[in-house]
Amino acid sequence: MKINAARFHKSLHLADNELLPPDSACVFCGFIKRFPVYLLQENPEVSLLKCHHCGAAIASRLPTSEALEMYYQKYYATQFFKGKNDCVTFIDTLKFGSHLAEKINKHLTGSSSLKILDFGGGTD
């Protein structure tokens, strides 16, 4: 099943209270110098910033945990997931790792197919 995620959230606009304060440095390498490569939204402004050191690109402001929870509740309620009970979202990285390892082991033994819809990394 192929999902056009851009079509799902292209009209999503987060308010200031749904965004965390801007990070002063790259979340991957800690380098401070970054430059904007794309405007993601206006008012409040959120830009895609690319790190001069490692080349990683990340939004200048990320959603709050509450905004992400509301987003995924709506996302998984869409027509793409109706009737599916194997769509899983984890906040706990250890629990996610255990679940992922179990799915990979089943895939490697040929007893199940492996599909990962979305893998998001936090800053923990």
9-26 per-position pLDDT tens digit: 456 789 999 999 998 999
Q: For residue 8, tell me if it sits in a domain.
A: no
pLDDT given for residue 51 in this prediction: 93
Question: Residues near 66 by Cβ (< 8 Å), separated by ≥ 6?
Answer: 18
Provide the pLDDT for residue 35: 95
Q: State residue 109's pLDDT score.
A: 66
71, 57: one domain: no
Residue pointed to by tokens 């990394």: 121
Whether residue 12 is contained in a domain is answered as: no
Are both 43 and 67 inside the same structural domain? no
Task: List the domain range (segments joined by +) for residue 91.
Answer: 63-112
What's the pLDDT score for residue 93? Answer: 73
> Sign of the C-alpha dihedral, residues 94, 96, 99, 100?
negative
Query: Which residues in the chain come in under a pLDDT of 70?
Result: 1-11, 75-91, 107-124
In the chain the first and final C-alpha atoms are separated, in Å, by 31
pLDDT value, residue 48: 92
User: Residue 121 falls within a domain, yes or no?
Assistant: no
The whole-angstrom separation of Cα 8 and Cα 54 is 30
Number of domains the chain is built from? 2
Rounded Cα distance between 26 and 52, Å, is 9
> Does a structural domain hold residue 72?
yes
Q: Which two tokens stand for residue 97?
A: 């790792």
